[in-house]
Amino acid sequence: MNINQLIKEVNEKYVPLKLSTKGREITKDESIQLFELSTKLDLYKIIKSLFMETITKDEGGKVTKYFVDHNLITFHKEIAKDKNDKEVEVNVVNESMDDRISMLPDEFTLPLFEKMVKSHKENIEIYTKKNDKELLKKEQYELDIINSFLPKEATKEDVLAWLNENYPDGITQKEMGPTIGKVKKAFERADGKMVSDCVRTIIHQ
């Protein structure tokens, strides 16, 4: 799944389903669909807010340069006032914020998704301890969607297999830091704590 697919699904399915179930008892399948679609809608609002913040904070910086270099946006001239209340001519982007959000490359979006994954995992731990099944279910479903935007996350078994293949004789304590760095380069996504724990298992005295 990508952002555009998420938007399309919410727009095409959520509102019609919500309207069709108004004033009557809903079925179990409809209840599941409404939960999934409303959760996706809430998640998209969060994603859009994060992406908008990234674009507006970096206006004229790396994001704009990427768009310009790849011929993704165009400009028109407008008259505005500077801090001294003097009229100046400025370049204004023609494309909407939604258009620019959909064009954001992985180098900008992946770190945002990684932060969201970390936040959701922390929330899942909290809701698990509280035994809050409703919030836990929602948080887990959102996490699954976010993960679908990212490369597959390496498992503990993946990392251990890589370490055993590349370091059959183990490593010293001093080599732990550089080894962790090499593991992270070998895998597009790997939980930092899990990697550290795996590397510790091959340290010899």
Burial of 205 (0-12, 13-18, 19+ CB in 10 A): exposed
| pLDDT tens-digit readout, 160-194 | 999 999 999 999 999 999 999 999 999 988 988 99
Domain count, the chain: 2
Report the distance separating Cα 91 and Cα 152, nearest Å: 40
Lowest mean pLDDT of 36-45, 52-61, 132-141, name the range. 52-61
Q: State whether 120 and 182 are in the same domain.
A: no
What is the rounded average pLDDT of the residues 29-52? Answer: 92
- Work out the pLDDT band at 1, boundaries 50, 70, 90: low
* pLDDT value, residue 75: 93
Long-range contacts of 14-17 (CB under 8 A, 24+ apart): 14/38, 14/40, 14/41
Tell me: do 139 and 161 sit in the same domain: no
- On whether both 63 and 137 belong to a single domain, the answer is yes
CA–CA separation, 8 and 196 (whole Å) = 40
Show which of 106, 125, 148 is a domain's final residue. Answer: 148
Phi, psi (degrees; rounded to nearest 5) at 36: -65, -45
| Residue 205, in any domain of the structure | no
Query: What does the pLDDT read at residue 104?
Result: 87
Q: Residue 24 belongs to what domain range? A: 3-148
DSSP-assigned beta bridge partners for residue 203: 171
Asked if residue 173 and residue 102 are part of one domain, the reply reads no
Q: 174 and 131 share a domain?
A: no
75 shares its domain with 107: yes
Say yes or no: 128 and 70 in one domain. Answer: yes
